[in-house]
Amino acid sequence: MATRGSGRSGSEPGATAADVTGLSYSEAGTELDGIIEEFETGVIDVDRLVEQLERATEIVDELDRRLRRTRMRVEELVPRLEAIGQSDAGTGPDDEEEVEVEPAGGSTGSGDDPGPPGLF
């Protein structure tokens, strides 16, 4: 029985197309690199050639789907982030509520402690 996968990054003998979806992007990329390396060296069994080509195609298709989904999600989120940035652009240090800072050793304003005599 023919097996799939290059034995790299979690690919097990007998792997199927569904297994590609279980790989992380990095794992799939590493497996694809291994397959490409096998092709480039020219040391690949003819029986394994078609199998590896099919596996490489499955990986490329899955990574392409992930990239398209990610691109669509980014295109959805960027306008929302820009809108948030624009609404926050009106607030800055000059627009913040002023906070009164009391000098060191000064009165708390409660009337209980008048502070050092002669300063205020």
> Is the Cα dihedral 85, 87, 90, 93 positive or negative?
negative
* Structural domain includes residue 71: yes
* Structural domain includes residue 82: yes
* Structural domain includes residue 42: yes
What value does the mean pLDDT take over residues 46-62? 92
Count of residues for the chain?
120
Instruction: Using pLDDT thresholds of 50, 70 and 90, give the confidence band for residue 103.
Output: low
* Structural domain includes residue 11: no
Q: Could you give the number of structural domains in the chain?
A: 1
* Structural domain includes residue 7: no
* Structural domain includes residue 55: yes
Give the domain range for residue 45: 17-87
More confident site: 31 or 5: 31
Instruction: Using pLDDT thresholds of 50, 70 and 90, give the confidence band for residue 58.
Output: very high
* Structural domain includes residue 64: yes
* Structural domain includes residue 43: yes
